[in-house]
Every structure is written in structure tokens, then in C-alpha cells.
Amino acid sequence: MRRRSEPHTFEQRLEAQRLLLEHELASLPAGVQRDSVAARIEQLQTAAEMFEFLMPREVLAPR
């Protein structure tokens, strides 16, 4: 039987996407595409902050 991987939390998915975009950003020259990727990174950081703010303290405690 195939073993399924553990589901990733929302925070883990945000972090993985942020790291992927930061890697992409490092290889892009200055321009519109680089600005777009940088803006997306900021959006992911804001989403992580909002998620942390909205989650009950009990859920975030085990970190």
C-alpha cells in the first residue's frame, strides 16, 4: 500500500512558496517580472502574518 505524506499546514505551504519565489527572484534581472515576484513575496509574508494574527493562541502555542 502506498504511504501518503503528511499534509502540510497552511504555514508550511506559505513558507515553501516564499522560498521558491526568493530563489526565483535571485536569478531575475531588474524589471517588471522581478518587481512582480517581489510583490508576490510580500503578499505571502502578509498572508502568514494575518494567519498568525487570526489563529487562536492555543493553536499556535506548540510551535
Q: Report domain extents, the chain.
A: 10-26+33-56
Residues 4-61 have pLDDT tens digits of 677 788 999 999 999 999 999 999 999 999 999 999 999 999 999 999 999 887 765 5
Helical ranges in 1-63 per DSSP H: 10-27, 32-54, 57-60
| Residue that is written with C-alpha cell 509574508 in the block | 45
| pLDDT value, residue 27 | 95
Query: What pTM was computed for the model?
Result: 0.76
| pLDDT value, residue 45 | 96
